[in-house]
Homo-oligomer: A and B are copies of this chain.
Amino acid sequence: MEAIFPDSVVVTNESKIVFLIIDGLGGLAMEGKGGTELQVARTPNLDALAAHSICGLLDPVAPGITPGSGPAHLALFGYDPVRWNIGRGVLSALGIEFPLQENDVAARGNFATLDAQGKVVDRRAGRISTETTRRLCQKIREAVRLSPVEYFLEPVKDYRVALVLRGEGLHDGLTDTDPQALGVAPLPCQATDPQAEETARRVNRFLSQAREVLAGEEKANIILLRGFAKYRRYPSMEERFGLRCLAIANYPMYRGLARLVGMELHPVCEDMRGEFAALSERYREFDYFFLHVKEPDSRGEDGDFEAKVRILEEVDALVPEITNLTPDVLVVTGDHSTPSKLRSHSWHPLPVLLHSTYARVDEVGRFDEISCIRGGLGRQPMVNLMSLALAHALRLTKYGA
């Protein structure tokens, strides 16, 4: 896909593009509920919009593949989610808005509990609080030096941490130290690439020093690391598409993903209503708006069908806040499905609507997973969405003579 975006094809103009991303939007019918969450929800605004839009279904990565939030959002932003896949360590650091620099190597970590024989007995250290984790990180920072390599050990949430290494010649070809099992010893970090051997030695030195610092702790007496990944700078959406972009998102990971592709971040809002209000406040300043609503995903992960229906109805009620601004292109979709029935992300494609005066309006009159099957967009890889949005905003010139 990206090969068809030679720079010359993108042009700039005064158009406004809004992506309303309803996290975990897609669902599944459940026994006795009368349809999917979106079918059961009363969503008159989204339905009216669908009736005047082109609709379809999007596969975030590929049919049958359940995406994490990272690949799903990259696809939404027009970045091939396989080519640009983000290592877990990097995603973890982005999630706390850590200012990664090119070539930093990041890992996600847990405080955990070892028994007297050095076997893991609790991978989550009794789920210690974020506050305790913060204290332990500080304690390690004060005692452990890795120079000339600089390191950052940052609390995430509860027992979770992010480790970032910065320095010359670091490499991310490294195995996890987290055995992801109980009753076994933590693993040494090993290089999977000869170039990573020095980095592996430094990681192991860091871990053994940290273990000494934690020796007196009852629960959290070791750090387990996994998902080593080197940060590389992504070409920004402004560089690729000529769009000045604003992200309106309340959760750290989505803010991190938006920053990864160069978006400016609006400050965290009090609630969903605040996010919609922010759109009109900042509307003049940017070309592209990523408006991210987290709550439907959380209700889906709770397995609470009715709560997901209710929150979708609340989102629907806010849609006029966007349509009143009459953006040139309005896209409504999600990043991935989160059916209450599965209580987790799923592989099911996402309904999508694209509203524009240049959209070839189809016969879809309701915005849900089943109605959108008959839409004019058909079933598309999600990564195509950005070129479709740019096209409808008249921001792409002709390809080839």
Contacts and interface: CB of A to CB of B under 8 A. Distances in A.
Interface of A: 1, 3-4, 9, 28-29, 36, 57, 61-71, 81-82, 85-88, 91-92, 227, 341-342, 345-348, 358, 360-363, 369-370, 373-380, 384, 386-392, 396-401
Given A67-B398, A81-B400, A400-B70, A375 B373 contact: yes
A178 to B, nearest CB: 14
B71 A399 contact: yes
A85 B91 CA distance: 37
Which 9 pairs, one residue from A and one from B, show the smallest C-beta to C-beta distance? A64-B387, A378-B379, A64-B391, A71-B400, A68-B400, A64-B388, A347-B391, A88-B401, A63-B384
A381 to B, nearest CB: 9
Copy total for this chain: 2
A150 to B, nearest CB: 24
A86 B400 contact: yes
9 contacts: A3-B82, A4-B61, A62-B384, A63-B388, A64-B390, A67-B400, A360-B369, A360-B370, A373-B375
Given A62-B384, A63-B387, 4 more contacts: A66-B398, A67-B399, A341-B358, A347-B391
A62 B360 contact: no
B360 A348 contact: yes
A4 B373 contact: no
B4 A391 contact: no
Contacts of A389: 64
